[in-house]
Amino acid sequence: MAIVAAILSGCGGGSVPLTKVADAPAPGPVEAPAPITYVVENLGVNPNVGLAAFDLGQTFEVPTTAQLKRLELHLRGYDLDVTVALFATAAGMPTGPALATSGPKRLNLMDADYAFDFPSAPTLTGGTTYAFMASAPAGVQAPVDTTAGYAKGTVVVTSPLPAYDLRFRVHFSY
């Protein structure tokens, strides 16, 4: 403990007793605060129902303006290179050029969650619906949630499939 002494002079000739005070931390570099993160997710899945397509995706709504950091997607396949792209939507379908891409990532397990990182971190607008599409030359397979567990999006292949949702988790920071 550091010891602090205060001596008062000219105030009746007395002094203040010595007092112990906690040690101050050593000065050092200031660390940046961790980014605030949140996720949009649907973790339900019916392992007996699956979809397969060359392009398979899901729409989702961004609750507040934030930067996309990572997409985790439950996929089936072995020895496939999968690329994920993010799109704006119109009429429930992906539209326009890709806003961001991640991959290719090699699927090496028959049934697993795969993480796709977006190092360019596009900023997405809150209240807006976007779509991600997973693509592979031999087709992508994914088990789906048949309970419509995610109310703000749906599976998309060549048209929206409102009875289905993929198992996914989207990570944002702002």
Percent helix, percent strand, percent coil in the chain, to nearest 5: 0, 60, 40
Task: Give me the residues of the chain with pLDDT under 50, please.
Answer: 1-24, 26, 28, 30, 32-34, 36
* Mean pLDDT taken over the chain: 74
pLDDT score for 60: 92
pLDDT score for 159: 76
| E strand map for 5-128 | 19-21, 37-42, 46-61, 66-76, 80-90, 93-107, 111-117, 123-124
> What pTM did the predictor assign?
0.72
Q: How many CA atoms lie within 13 A of 156 on its CB side?
A: 23
Percent residues over pLDDT 90 in the chain: 24
pLDDT score for 148: 63
pLDDT score for 46: 59
pLDDT score for 108: 81
